[in-house]
Structure 1
């Protein structure tokens, strides 16, 4: 099962603290959106949407609760 709850964030406001080496991405159709997922467990933490390629759609489900509260 997979759940994705979108939060659009400007590209300069997103950073990866650790685990980037486990991420991979794929593109399909028009190859504009870039979908990112963990190659180990398959979770989808964020992607670059076709409608807003300068930003990220962050999966809130993947964020630590303290991060959500501070946002």
Structure 2
């Protein structure tokens, strides 16, 4: 599997991960995903397949409702980078807009009905 690199806008949160080739994405219609408008990977990343590097203490986490999904973002620039998935707790979905070399505007995507969960 390829290794991808990514970061928030200011670079204080960096990450690399192993995943299948990125050829499509996923969007979700739950309340938080609808507001942030992010394109996520259509795969989940095992915790052993992601390396997260944070400068100082710039990684913040937002939880709501069930507190199972953990949405991570940079405290400095505010960019959502990845989250721990509701459907597969402890595993990650990556915001493809933060992944180097991925053109999210050109990717086809599937819509997940997270609003009904």
TM-score by length of structure 2 reads: 0.49
* CA drift at 1:3: 4.2
1:5 aligns to 2:39 (yes or no): yes
Deviations 1:13-56 (A, max 9, x none): 11124436211001101111111011111100000011011310
* CA drift at 1:2: 4.5
What runs of 5+ residues in structure 1 fail to find an aligned partner? Answer: none
1:32 aligns to 2:83 (yes or no): no
1:16 aligns to 2:16 (yes or no): no
* Bigger radius of gyration: 2
Cα distance change, pair 28–18 in 1 and its aligned pair in 2 (3 A): closer
The separation in 1 between residues aligned to 2:78 and 2:59, in whole angstroms, is 9
The separation in 2 between residues aligned to 1:20 and 1:44, in whole angstroms, is 17
What runs of 5+ residues in structure 2 fail to find an aligned partner? Answer: 1-34, 103-117
The separation in 2 between residues aligned to 1:51 and 1:39, in whole angstroms, is 26
> What count of residue pairs does the alignment treat as equivalent?
66
The separation in 2 between residues aligned to 1:3 and 1:38, in whole angstroms, is 16
Higher helix share: 1
